[in-house]
Structure 1
Amino acid sequence: MTQTAETTLPGLSLTGRHALVTGGTRGLGRAVALALAGLGAHVTACYRSDEEAADALRADLAALPGDHLVLRADVTTEDGARAVADACAARSATLHVLVNTVGTMERAPLAAPGDAVLRRALATNLDAAFLVSREVRPLLTDGSSVVNVGSGAARRGLPGHAAYTASKAGLAGLTRSLAKEWGGAGIRVNLVDPGILGGAALPPAQADHLRGLTSLGRLGTPAEVAGVITFLAGDLAGYVTGATLTADGGI
């Protein structure tokens, strides 16, 4: 059952607040968009190309209270990020929550020829958060919360994924810098590092191996990580900024 604002503690409720979720139509982004709406927020979610996923999210959001919008935009570009910011501004003078979930992960050894993987990793995992955060800054105010989605691999390293880990490490640095730069205005900026989620698309042997690496002995769900993100979005995390919260089952 989807949780609604009326059934939550006052410190968790986001009733009447406006939230933007980038990459909000699939996976973790979708779970975050629905969780925020379930807590009473008016949600704007953007996506780049998957119309079927966008339509599915529209239908699910329509069943929840609030005024929700799902729009197409490529936030790895300045024009796309600006378009999303303009859409948010048209809906409200204040953006209370920004969640940057846009991301990509490709395996490519560093010695592989060409730099297309690096360019895509940086554009999707780092540039998008930088551009969107910059464009919506005029809408953020005292009490607003920005949550970026990182990766524990940025600290541990991951063979064959140098571009991915480098881009996520950059996102961690961006998060800490913005927390200091915007803290004086009462804007909080935090990072969430999820573990391996779902696992249905993984070969059974690989999924079993990954479960064995976790303290809880299982893989996580998007909804569980969305819960951590909604905590950071709300008043209960009012004194948390510049932090990295890990939700990986104890890898």
Structure 2
Amino acid sequence: MQDTTDVGRRDLAVGDRRKRFLGKTCLVTGGSRGLGLAAARAFAREGARVVIIARDPGRLKTASELIGDGTIAVAADLSSPAAIKTALTEIAAQVDRIDAAFINAGHSGFKSLDDMDEATWDMVFDINVKGSFFVMQGLRPLLAPGGAVVFCGSVAGRRARAGGAAYGASKAALEHLTRILADEVIGDGIRVNIVIPGGMNTDIAARTTGLPPGGGDAMRERIRLGTPMLRLGEPEELADAVLFLASSEAGYITGAALPVDGGATGFIRSSA
């Protein structure tokens, strides 16, 4: 099979000419690095005023400079409903509405059945599921009619991998939660969807808990080889999908899951 490492790459500046979010306010959780930062920068390029929430004040400052003038950055522990409420109260004092939100903050903890501990399990679910739910709950009064929420799932929620019990189960739960929340807010004119990224070219492997030394690189290579397109996705490619679902172009789409995974959940790569 052809190595498609360079297939589908494009000049990312093309998106700069579009202004789908001009005059809108868009929020990104986990917006200080990786997929969240890529989405936040993409929203800003298309005219949005961007609000980011993340845990680390230092990373938030650096991210704000990359995103651009007018960025609102709020530090919060997104595993805590109380901290989420405080952060959203701070945001509500600075903006009158949120037009689109990418609820992206997540935590990965890979441990086997025998090695899993309660603290790791709870942290994964507290951020990936509980945190995402309570961000959505707190955002609801701020969401403008016609607004959109996009969650960040994972192929790990669809494909079984040894050691991925907590992370995979949390992402599967989040995908189902998306459908439930889409139904709950449809009467308010708010759409709720989820992107399902596959292996992405970020530092998450290096930050994944429970891996042995050097395990991050090995995991990235396993993911690449298990992807039919034989490459990792770029954060900007996921951002394209997020912005599509958050825009009026997806005005008739809600409760949907959009894979951005190089074919990982669509078919099995041939060994040829």
TM-score, length-scaled by structure 1? 0.90
CA distance in 2, matches of 1:50, 1:100: 18
Aligned to 1:71, the other structure's residue is in SS state strand
| Letter of the structure 2 residue corresponding to residue 15 of structure 1 | L
Residue aligning to 1:108: 111
Which of 36, 42, 64 is residue 58 of structure 1 equivalent to?
Answer: 64
| Structure 1 residues 6 and 220, CA gap change in structure 2 (3 angstroms) | closer
2:17 pairs with 1:7: yes
Instruction: Give the superposition deviation at 1:219.
Output: 0.8
CA distance in 1, matches of 2:245, 2:81: 27
Instruction: Give the superposition deviation at 1:60.
Output: 1.4
Residue aligning to 1:226: 239
Residue aligning to 1:30: 37
Query: Contact 1:45–1:69 at 8 Å: present in 2 too?
Result: yes
Instruction: Give the superposition deviation at 1:76.
Output: 1.5
Residue aligning to 2:80: 77
Structure 2 portions without partners, runs of 5+:
1-10, 207-214, 265-272
Residue aligning to 2:56: 49
Residue aligning to 2:161: 158
CA distance in 1, matches of 2:93, 2:217: 47
| Structure 1 residues 230 and 93, CA gap change in structure 2 (3 angstroms) | same
Structure 1 portions without partners, runs of 5+:
none
CA distance in 1, matches of 2:139, 2:21: 19
Instruction: Give the superposition deviation at 1:113.
Output: 5.5
Instruction: Give the superposition deviation at 1:3.
Output: 4.8
Instruction: Give the superposition deviation at 1:215.
Output: 2.1
Query: Contact 1:21–1:98 at 8 Å: present in 2 too?
Result: yes
CA distance in 2, matches of 1:77, 1:204: 31
Q: Which 4+ runs in 1 deviate beyond 6 A?
A: none
TM-score, length-scaled by structure 2? 0.83
Instruction: Give the superposition deviation at 1:83.
Output: 2.0
CA distance in 2, matches of 1:92, 1:213: 43
| Structure 1 residues 179 and 114, CA gap change in structure 2 (3 angstroms) | same
Deviates more, 1:89-98 or 1:195-204: 195-204
2:126 pairs with 1:123: yes
| Structure 1 residues 205 and 20, CA gap change in structure 2 (3 angstroms) | closer
CA distance in 1, matches of 2:161, 2:222: 16
Q: Percent identity?
A: 36
| Structure 1 residues 211 and 181, CA gap change in structure 2 (3 angstroms) | same
| Structure 1 residues 126 and 45, CA gap change in structure 2 (3 angstroms) | same
Residue aligning to 2:199: 196
CA distance in 1, matches of 2:84, 2:217: 38
Query: Contact 1:99–1:146 at 8 Å: present in 2 too?
Result: yes
Q: Structure 1, residues 143-179: CA drift from partner, whole Å, max 9, x if none?
A: 1100000111212222111111111111112110010
CA distance in 1, matches of 2:98, 2:53: 15
Residue aligning to 1:212: 225
Query: Contact 2:76–2:87 at 8 Å: present in 1 too?
Result: yes
CA distance in 1, matches of 2:137, 2:223: 36
Q: CA RMSD in A?
A: 2.1
Instruction: Give the superposition deviation at 1:80.
Output: 1.5
